[in-house]
Structure 1
């Protein structure tokens, strides 16, 4: 009798719910999508990046907690992983702020001790790095079996600015959710937005999100469309909340009061679950992306809005340049609120243009569904481990 083949165990290293951050949500959504396919050959657990004192907050699939801002914890965790013979592959989510030391170099100490193959995903790849940043990234990439990025631009930067071999790099886009099928008019009524033209922004609040620009633009927009409502959805970022409380949210509220926009701007202080988020996006007439960082490599909020069929007005940044054109949205050329207001009025005046842009945005994200993204990951895992997977081809739109 042929012995049963035991599934390969893969350990993800990432922030993870109940932590509230974009990478935690990303990792949970990815794992849910991978695990949805009951035929895959992998068991996935998580090493959560958090303080050891918070270990009691986590449930399965979290099996370890590593305080990545403490070198001792990084060293201890590397030894624990090496001792666990059931773990065959590590998948690491990377953002510089997640790891301690200068430019997150404690991660290097962890990786130098690791005796198992690992994949790393760079959520941010910055152009024209200084010597220190370049050396840290190059050292990480040298040790990694594969490097995942989510945009073509990030892959180009790794090759041209960091001199990383293209053979190690794979592009797998950020996943997107299925659009809500609820009736838009019913949703607007449920959320107290009946007869409103709704503009939305969502995500954890911090000054680099530039929400004040959207609020200030509402002065001119609401003078043309008194029924326009800007809905800003999200808690204040936990790190910012710990440092200065609700200073930024209070600043936004002060702008609302100073501009007399209480009937045209709504701050929703809530970390909304996926179903509710997709309902908000379904009832959205225009999505505003006002983040101030032109080098931001990827944004889950931006892609979720596209996948929900929202026409987008966005500040110029890497992903916008890669995903938006005149048929899918509008990229702003300046940093002031006047241009945003003008473009907002343009779209609100033309429902046909809004509908067509939203439809084109939806179509452009069809290859980025979480199902396709999960399939690309299982193919990658199987290739490294020599484990057969259900899929035989990498989904369209996902590059090696």
Structure 2
């Protein structure tokens, strides 16, 4: 049975969904017990405050400064001190061409290794395909968070399907936060802001609801993505605010330019009548925001990105075509005007299987199997 885990990922106070995911998994998988640790990926532009470190999570034992050449060597040495390594993979977090510096690190690991794939592209570049195939070949196990991602991986890449396990993205428990209600129905989108989030379509949908009495309020919560801010400034947010004014809905939109801690996020989610996910992406196979909304029992209106199609079809929300504000407005109107339908949808949440304790238990069981497979079987020697 594995006694200690080493985690490789971005990590708080870095403000991104991957860091939050890794911190939650580490906390629930180890229970805060000593011995496990995090090897943190940190780039110069990602460093920053605003999100307090969760001190119940395993401590950071090493920082891989990804702007420093050859940083993978010390990172691999740090991970080899643990019984099992759990490596988060996203193309944008590792140095090298399409993040290929993760490959020598994986080759250097002597302990059972689980790689968690946060993105599986349907049309990768040749290098992206090669990197992911080599990751899967080297890892002892590969985790996808949706069956859609598993099927895409097995069908589109040279990967041993026996290595691939589906474990859903975990959801926090928001039941401790009070249910806050206002005078108007509350629509909510949260997460790091940048082009592709599709907020412009949600604003246009909001304008289609101006006949409702009272007209819904719409909260857009989240800071601008650090890489977007570095390269383009806050142009996207400013364009959205300008669009809201042109549509005449600026008084019904609240912009929260903050990265929310768990308590604030719970309060915000509990205040929502509908979570709106107007994403432009047709590739997104994992959405932590979607899982959190479903796990909290809030009905969702989402565009047809892969994770939403898998989770919401015949489930806790309504799907609409991409970039179709009229269809989005119709779906939102349906939920707001038919509370019994919204309540029924909100009740189809996947239950406790989406909660972090259940998700962490599945990682633990997978790790146990990998350790057992590596453990030599004792044999008796004839006298």
Which residues in structure 2 correspond to 1:266-345 (within 5 Å)?
266-345=254-333
Higher alpha-carbon deviation: 308-317 or 67-76: 67-76
1:110 deviates by 2.1
Q: Distance in 2 between matches of 1:269 and 1:162?
A: 39
1:260 deviates by 2.1
Q: Distance in 1 between matches of 2:309 and 2:45?
A: 42
**Higher-helix-fraction structure:** 1
1:109 is matched with which residue? Answer: 104
Q: Distance in 1 between matches of 2:187 and 2:322?
A: 20
**8 Å contact kept, 1:50–1:65:** yes
Post-superposition CA distance 1:11-46 (Å, at most 9, x none): 1000000000000000111122123386xxx83200
1:127 deviates by 1.6
1:326 deviates by 4.3
**8 Å contact kept, 1:200–1:231:** yes
Q: Distance in 2 between matches of 1:153 and 1:279?
A: 31
**8 Å contact kept, 1:52–1:65:** no
2:173 is matched with which residue? Answer: 178
1:51 aligns with 2:49: no
| Structure-2 change in CA distance of 1:162 and 1:338 (3 Å) | same
Q: Distance in 2 between matches of 1:131 and 1:244?
A: 28
1:220 aligns with 2:212: no
1:155 aligns with 2:145: no
Post-superposition CA distance 1:221-255 (Å, at most 9, x none): 13324431011111111111222222211111111
1:355 is matched with which residue? Answer: 343
**8 Å contact kept, 1:68–1:106:** no
1:390 is matched with which residue? Answer: none
2:76 is matched with which residue? Answer: 78
2:376 is matched with which residue? Answer: none
| Structure-2 change in CA distance of 1:220 and 1:239 (3 Å) | same
Post-superposition CA distance 1:347-374 (Å, at most 9, x none): 22211111111112x2x24311101011
| Residue number among 132, 143, 146 corresponding to 2:141 in the alignment | 146
1:336 deviates by 2.2
Q: Distance in 1 between matches of 2:63 and 2:90?
A: 17
Q: Distance in 2 between matches of 1:92 and 1:263?
A: 44
2:13 is matched with which residue? Answer: 18
1:69 deviates by 5.0
**8 Å contact kept, 2:46–2:226:** no
SS of corresponding position for 2:347: helix
SS of corresponding position for 1:263: helix
SS of corresponding position for 2:255: strand
CA RMSD in angstroms, aligned pairs only:
2.4
| Residue number among 40, 59, 62 corresponding to 2:60 in the alignment | 62
What is the number of equivalent residue pairs in this alignment? 367
1:89 deviates by 2.2
2:353 is matched with which residue? Answer: 367
1:62 deviates by 0.6
Q: Distance in 2 between matches of 1:325 and 1:79?
A: 44
1:195 aligns with 2:183: yes
SS of corresponding position for 2:62: strand
Post-superposition CA distance 1:323-366 (Å, at most 9, x none): 11245211112422121112222222211111111112x2x243
